[in-house]
Structure 1
Amino acid sequence: MHPMNHGYAWGKRPAITQRHTDADVTAQLLSASQERYVKRTRRSRSRSPGTTLRRPYDKEIVILIIALLVVSIASLYAAGVLFMVAWSRNSTRLRPGGSLLSKDHNLVLPPDSSAGSSGSLPRYLSYLPHSGFHNQRIALENALVLAQLLNRTLLIPPIRLGAPLAYYPFDELYDMVANSTKAGLGHCSSKLQYDSNYPPECEDYQSYTHIPWDWLIDLSNISNWQPLLSGWNFTDAWLQDTLNLLAAEDIFRLKDDSRHQYAFQDFFSLDPPGRKFSESVHIAALLRRPERLIMLGTLFGSSRLHLRSEEHFLFRGRVREQMVFTNAHLVDVAGAIRTALGGSYLAVHLRIGDGSFEVNATNIVRRSWWKLLQVGLEFSDEEILELEEESFPDEDNSEPPIFAPDLPALRSPHPPLLPFPSNATPTSEFPCRGRLHSAPRLRRLNAPLYIATDATSPSLNPLLWRFLRTFPCSFFLEDFAEQTRPLDALRSEVDGVPLGSFLMPFVEAMVAGQAWQVIGTESSTFSAFVTDVLWRRYHGFQIVQRG
């Protein structure tokens, strides 16, 4: 059947009888055309202004066109999705060291499961540590989870205490970590830094040290379900001698160029990663990598792992629960300080000594003071405002601070605490430094308060005067020199550097975590660890998972 146009076959002229001349035919056609034009014009004038659809079937045509467009768009989208899924499942084998990332969607595309020839040989995962201790701790937590999900043995680097290594892109950071092992500098451990003959190569020797992770925390539970291998020193010789990794094709390096480049997720998505990361890495793709060793760069960041599987989320919680400090020396010292404080005391964990925390120290101190009175001693806002006006009349504090709901903590509620004991006092060897409050409404402020802080000379620091004036029984770590003295005898087994000064932040965290109630510094990973993990573990509560 041929397409039709006004009753005539497409491409053919109407038949003309011999009884009419060409002129007659032309005249008849023109007359008929004029007659049709007049009729259309009359119909057009009879319609209301603004009408754009001139025939009844025009609407049907428009509706049909729209429907076809919708169906076409849906078909194209479905085809695109099916293409991406098929590509992700059946992609060709990537050469070792090749990119796993889709340039269009920043997603890891799983290679063919038949790639590689490692067979049943052990497979490993490593990462590059950097920054301060708690950033290293978060990186270890993420590495432990990834190693478990990837079914690989985790190569554990030592903890670096003291002067931190800043983050750099993969290649630079790898070299920096490898060159910080102090290999060949053993003679520096016996030198005194103020000696006139102090060798120049020993200049930074005492500024940092290393300790193994199992010196600080108990890894035995973790090692029951996750294979671990300590001693990784970031050298090719170690890889060859310890792991028998001899060829370049045995190693896959996922190199980052920025601190927030890669996030790791346990689900497939075409959406960009969101949060603060620029690219998403599909964990299932790494699982199918054939190389015996996967080297990752930075793993710092509580939100770096995006886990939707409840099983994976709970596993990460188990890992974080194991980060409690269990070293016997630290446990003994923290216990002695806790006893000296009387057993029942309040605590604040104040980070105001560096960076943005130092810049905002005044606001941090006030917000922590307010929260301690609200949460720890159950003062009302009106009572706190009145106390603030009486105690600090020269300060402009007419409005209470606003605290946003802590949603992660609300998702992990703990049983309500009993009111703080009204008769709590420190032992007789540690008298209160100020006069006790006698007014009934203020007697709650006589509670022992432990202030863990990185502020210099805290007892003389004017920023902390707010606490000292309000809480007459305030104490700092410097008040417990006798209790902390045993730590001065400890030295690193790695480089012989004295450990005492490096261990004080751990002691402070443990003492604060064992308090009746502890208030941390907002946005501090250290304080979050104290409030979310240590305090809850010491009190038998479920930890708070962030990220």
Structure 2
Amino acid sequence: MKFLRTLPQPIYSRRIFILFLLSTYLLITLIFYVNKLNPSLCNFNKICDVKEEVASENTREKFITYLPHSGLHNQRIALENAVFMAWALNRTLILPPLILGARFPFQAFDKLENYLNFLSKVKQKNCMNMKSKMNLTHCEKLRDSYTFYRWDQLFDFTFISRNVKIIHRDELISENLFLKFNMSNDEEQVWRKYGNAQKNSFYDSRMYGNIKSSNKFSNKHSILELRERDEGLLYFNSLFGSALIKLVIPRNIQFMKEIRESFIISNPTLLDITKRISDELGGRMNYLSAHARIGDGGFKKLSRKWIKNLINDIVEYFHEDSNLSNSADCKQNDSMTFSKMFYLASDAHSKDVQGLKPIIQLLPCALMLEDFKDLLIPMNELVNERDGLRMTKFFIPILDLMIAANGKHVFTMRYSTYSSYLKRYHQYLTQSV
């Protein structure tokens, strides 16, 4: 160091520059050899594009599927995640049918798979073969309480089909799944992922790539590691969860955004009925609407609290927004109530339900689907060809959402997947006006 200090300044600067070049060269060489020895590493940040082209001699078609559960919008979120995973993993999506009607909650893998097997076989069963009247009634009641429906008969699949190959399942019998795709139900050909979003998470980062086997009991998975798996089928216990897939790469974030934004209701009969009812309410974007969920789970148990919160939001909106002239009026003289045309969507389908009384008292102009029975008649023509069931009772909640979404402003309940889609659909309609 003493020697360096005695050198003339130009020579000293030149040596520092040479040392810098040598250090840079050594660092680049080190990175090159580390990547050579471990090709699974993309960079020191361990973040990679999951759609990077990976050279592989094995070009056979590989698949991904999952077990559906819960209501429509939980199934919708699972489907959106499944589409992203199929795209990211370069696999064909074997898509379960949409289960409408009775809700079947999440269960452990084997239990859920067996129950979905059972539901599929009930649909194929001839209830008339039941020996006792009690068994006959029970069989028919269960069989007609739900229906399996093709997703693309209800939602727009244009964007999804353009980016992912999809094979639709008609039923959920596991034996038929393996038979159709010529697979043996073993660990060599099928990789099962147990659990749901409370236990599992998936990342587009190499951060969790050190879990070498990405085994079925690991909770955190790199999508890039899953992409390298050789099993013919990746089989998930559940893909529901708004935060199940953790994304940091802009391209992946954008693709997930496009999946969600493109997933729009497209059934022509429902669209036509929605327009007719919206016109009765004063026209699209010319009335106010709200969603009150009080019929199930925590929403039923805490219905008074949820309704109170909803009313507070409505009152605050009326007091803050003085520009309500574009909203249709109804004739009310009571100064204690609001006289704007209002549509109320709810899983309680009547204004006579006690839990809705506070809203009806506040909003005497509120109308519900029950007020438009004559306009619902075209729904009777919608029949599911798979089981012969009329779709009216299954489509009522969807139609309810669509009418509410056509309002100028929508009041929703927090933590409801129904409400989250209602807001998304409303935003889509607002932007397309």
| 1:182 partnered with 2:121 | yes
Q: In the alignment, residue 260 of structure 2 is paired with which amino acid? A: R
243, 254, 262: which one aligns with 1:303: 243
Deviations 1:381-404 (A, max 9, x none): xxxxxxxxxxxxxxxxxxxxxxxx
Please give the alpha-carbon distance, in whole angstroms, between the structure 2 residues aligned to 1:320 and 1:463: 33
Aligned residue for 1:59?
none
Deviation at 1:268, TM superposition (A): 2.6
User: Is the contact between residue 124 and residue 292 of structure 1 (CA under 8 Å) also seen in structure 2?
Assistant: yes
Whole-Å Cα distance in 2 between the matches of residues 157 and 88 of structure 1? 41
Note the 1:191-270 alignment, pairs <5 A.
Answer: 198=136, 201-231=139-169, 233-241=172-180, 243-246=181-184, 248=186, 251-257=189-195, 260-269=198-207
Equivalent residue, structure 2, for 1:383: none
**CA separation in 2, counterparts of 1:269 and 1:489?**
53
Give the SS at the match of 2:398: helix
Q: 1:219 to 1:305 in 2, by over 3 A?
A: same
Q: Deviations over 1:121-167 (max 9, x none)?
A: 21111111111111100000000011111111111110001112221
Is the contact made by 1:211 and 1:493 (CA closer than 8 Å) also made in structure 2? no
Do structure 1's residue 124 and structure 2's residue 63 form an aligned pair?
yes
Distance in 2 between residues matched to 1:199 and 1:458, nearest whole Å: 28
1:171-200 Cα offsets, whole Å, 9 max, x none, are 221222222213673544x99xxx879365
Q: In 2, are the aligned partners of 1:369 and 1:467 still within 8 Å (CA)?
A: yes
Pair 1:335-2:239 in alignment: no
SS of alignment partner, residue 240 of structure 2:
coil
**Is 1:144 matched up with 2:88?**
no
CA shift digits 1:460-487 (9 cap, x unpaired): 1233232222223110111111111221
TM-superposed deviation, 1:422: 5.0
Please list, as runs of the form range in 1=range in 2, the aligned pairs for 1:248-397 lying within 5 A after superposition. 248=186, 251-257=189-195, 260-269=198-207, 279-343=219-283, 344-375=286-317, 377=318, 379-380=319-320
1:396-439 C-alpha deviation (Å, 9 max, x unpaired): xxxxxxxxxxxxxxxxxxxxx993335624xxxxxx5xx61376
Compared CA separation, residues 422 and 471, structure 1 to 2 (3 A): farther
d(CA) in 1 for partners of 2:162 and 2:426? 25
Counterpart of 1:223, as a letter, is S
Question: 2-side partners of 1:504 and 1:325: how far apart?
Answer: 13
Q: Label 1:507 to 1:199 Cα distance change in 2 as closer, same or farther (>3 A).
A: closer
Structure 1 vs Structure 2 CA RMSD:
3.4
Q: 1: distance between equivalents of 2:115 and 2:322?
A: 50
Query: Which residue matches 2:429?
Result: 538
Matched position secondary structure for 2:323: coil
CA distance in 2, matches of 1:123, 1:271: 21
CA 1:478/1:201 → structure 2, altered by over 3 Å: closer, same or farther?
closer
Indicate how the Cα distance of structure 1 residues 220 and 183 shifts in structure 2: closer, same or farther if over 3 A, else same. farther
Q: CA deviation at 1:203?
A: 4.2
CA shift in 2, pair 1:488/1:150, >3 Å = same
Give the TM-score of the pair, scaled to structure 2.
Answer: 0.78
Maintained 8 Å contact 2:327/2:341: no
- 2:208 and 2:220 in contact (8 A); partners too: no
Assess if the C-alpha contact under 8 Å between 2:195 and 2:237 holds in 1: no
Given that 1:167 and 1:259 are in contact with CA atoms closer than 8 Å, whether structure 2 keeps it comes out as: no
CA-CA distance at 1:366 after TM superposition: 1.7
1:249 to 1:279, Cα distance in 2 relative to 1, 3 A: closer
For residue 341 of structure 2, the aligned residue among 427, 434, 448 is 448
Q: Does the CA contact (< 8 Å) of 1:422 and 1:447 recur in 2?
A: no
Structure 2 matches for 1:482-521, cutoff 5 A?
482-521=374-413
Q: Equivalent of 1:436, from 322, 327, 332?
A: 332
* CA separation of 1:423 and 1:528: change in aligned 2, threshold 3 A: closer
Give the conservation status (yes or no) of the 8 Å contact 1:217–1:322: no
CA–CA distance in structure 1, aligned partners of residues 396 and 430 of structure 2: 22
Q: Give the partner amino acid of 2:352.
A: L
Are the structure 2 counterparts of residues 484 and 89 from structure 1 closer, same or farther at C-alpha, using a change threshold of 3 Å?
farther
- In the alignment, the residues of structure 1 paired with residue 322 and residue 256 of structure 2 have an alpha-carbon distance, to the nearest angstrom, of 30
C-alpha separation in 2, matches of 1:176 and 1:87: 48
Q: Distance in 2 between matches of 1:346 and 1:199?
A: 43
Task: Classify the secondary structure of the residue corresponding to 1:171.
Answer: helix
Whole-angstrom distance in 1 between the partners of 2:403 and 2:70: 24
Report the number of matched residues: 380
1:181–1:525 distance in 2 versus 1, CA, 3 Å: same
Quickly say closer, same or farther: Cα 1:327–1:418, change in 2 above 3 A: farther
Contact 2:196/2:239 (<8 A) preserved: no
Q: Is the 8 A contact 2:94 2:167 kept in 1?
A: yes
Matched position secondary structure for 1:181: helix
**Is the 8 Å Cα contact of residues 345 and 515 (structure 1) preserved in structure 2?**
yes
Partner of 2:44: none
SS for the counterpart of 1:374 is helix
Which of residues 366, 369, 389 is equivalent to 1:474? 366
Which of these two proteins has the greater Rg computed from alpha carbons? 1
Correspondence for 2:46: none
The 1:452–1:87 alpha-carbon spacing in structure 2 relative to 1, beyond 3 Å, is farther
In structure 2, runs of 5+ residues without a counterpart are 1-30, 41-49, 211-216
Letter in 2 for 1:322: S
Partner SS for 2:206: coil
3-state SS, counterpart of residue 253 of structure 1: strand
- Separation in structure 1 between the aligned mates of residue 144 and residue 333 of structure 2, nearest angstrom: 46
- TM-score, normalised to structure 1, is 0.63
